[in-house]
Structure 1
């Protein structure tokens, strides 16, 4: 960091407390960065850390790293002096005494004296209309970190083998757009700077755009039929093999995964939809599974209907709106076939 950034960072207030929970030790850190808006206005890469004196034995140290030409991305990191098994929760403390969750990581191994990536904040979300309440009255930003350290799991640490950062590195490549050579546009006009080699290596459909004399290969612009929210999640999966919002809109993701031939993502969507299966949405789920050749989800849904739910499902709006004779035939045959089989066995 330059001198100005160091001076500003040292003004930051860190409230640190530790308490013993039922099964874990909980480290709570409330980090207030004064005049945070000043960092967003700068044009150079910046880094803010908690004061070095807070990095004592068995204490966490925090860092945020600004990326992009106009500081569009803000990566959050933490560091701990010893190997532990923990989960991390980060929230924003808003000016109306409310809190908004940013991320909750599952339990994982934290390697000693090595900066661990938590998540990325986007400048557009912080300064946009929905982020108007993120800043305190003086323009400062207050983040609350909760680290749950458990002793129930033995941490195995090999000093010569650092943790893999491949997924994080590739996701950062998507977030900052460095060295991108192609643009992908959503149906509602949002553009993403992406990389031809990454797209081609992950999706046969995207690969085909560049193998032949297509419009896409000439213009280096790919037009997608999905909206920006879904396309961002698709690209996140392509780059990192993760789908953090899969339970928010699995129906849309299933359709997109089927179109782009992302088989692993498609299977993850099937599992998410199976977990959301109810009497009310069973017919819609079955229709969606049939439309996108999600054979595993289709079988699970038919099993759900057969398992004493058929009479209830025939009273739903989904059943009344069902127009596919083939699907009705599938349901009938699945239920009757098992009923006949039971009679034969008896």
Structure 2
């Protein structure tokens, strides 16, 4: 390991800059570790440029890497965004925590949104819980405008639901 792993790194996120300590980021994320081990711009500049994540979301992720705690009052949309970041940077413990919290927040009004996003992030426990919930509440869900919208946007996702729901007893 080179000395660069002990320096602060700077994470420019959109228009803000977050200064972080590299060992925390690299210990939680194999993606960050790979960036700093490889002969990449990040290694030379000790800087990771992140332009696709909101500053407040990245701050929550970094706070988690330092404290091991994810704010319990995080709103539903922020929780989905944190899950996305955890998946992108392979922060598995954070991803599992988001999966657990989202499982506790499933309602008729948000189940399809969670289902759509969860299908992108490889969260099997959450997907199974969503499928079971959707099977149990299928009449209400199918009658919703959200269902019709999801069908128009991503019919393959509802096909996946159909196939997986057959297995649910």
What is the aligned partner in structure 1 of residue 161 from structure 2? 331
Deviates more, 1:242-251 or 1:208-217: 242-251
Alpha-carbon distance change, 226 to 338 in structure 1, aligned in 2, over 3 angstroms: closer
Q: How many residues align?
A: 159
Selected match of 1:310 from 133, 138, 141? 138
Residue 229 (str. 1) matches residue 50 (str. 2): no
Selected match of 1:220 from 46, 66, 74? 46
Task: Determine if contact 2:10/2:48 at 8 Å carries over to the other structure.
Answer: yes
Selected match of 1:241 from 57, 65, 68? 68
What is the aligned partner in structure 1 of residue 91 from structure 2? 262
Q: Which of the two has greater strand per residue? A: 1
Q: Distance in 2 between matches of 1:337 and 1:202?
A: 35
TM score, norm. by length of structure 2: 0.86
Alpha-carbon distance change, 313 to 320 in structure 1, aligned in 2, over 3 angstroms: same
Q: Distance in 2 between matches of 1:259 and 1:271?
A: 18
Q: Distance in 2 between matches of 1:185 and 1:272?
A: 28
Q: Higher relative CO (CA 8 A, sep ≥ 6), structure 1 or 2?
A: 2
Task: Determine if contact 2:36/2:42 at 8 Å carries over to the other structure.
Answer: yes
RMSD: 1.8
Gaps of 5+ in 1: 1-178, 340-346
State the shift of 1:245 in Å.
4.9
- Summarize the alignment of residues 55-70 of structure 1 with structure 2, pairs less than 5 Å apart: none
Q: Which of the two has greater helix per residue? A: 2
Alpha-carbon distance change, 314 to 201 in structure 1, aligned in 2, over 3 angstroms: same
Task: Determine if contact 1:247/1:272 at 8 Å carries over to the other structure.
Answer: no
**Structure 1 residues 56-95: Cα deviation after superposition (integer angstroms, max 9, x where no partner):** xxxxxxxxxxxxxxxxxxxxxxxxxxxxxxxxxxxxxxxx
Residue 320 (str. 1) matches residue 148 (str. 2): yes
What is the aligned partner in structure 2 of residue 294 from structure 1? 123
What is the aligned partner in structure 1 of residue 100 from structure 2? 271
**Structure 1 residues 269-313: Cα deviation after superposition (integer angstroms, max 9, x where no partner):** 112212221112111111111011111111100010111x11110
Task: Determine if contact 1:306/1:334 at 8 Å carries over to the other structure.
Answer: no
Gaps of 5+ in 2: 1-5
Selected match of 2:20 from 175, 184, 194? 194
**Structure 1 residues 312-334: Cα deviation after superposition (integer angstroms, max 9, x where no partner):** 10122321111323321222223
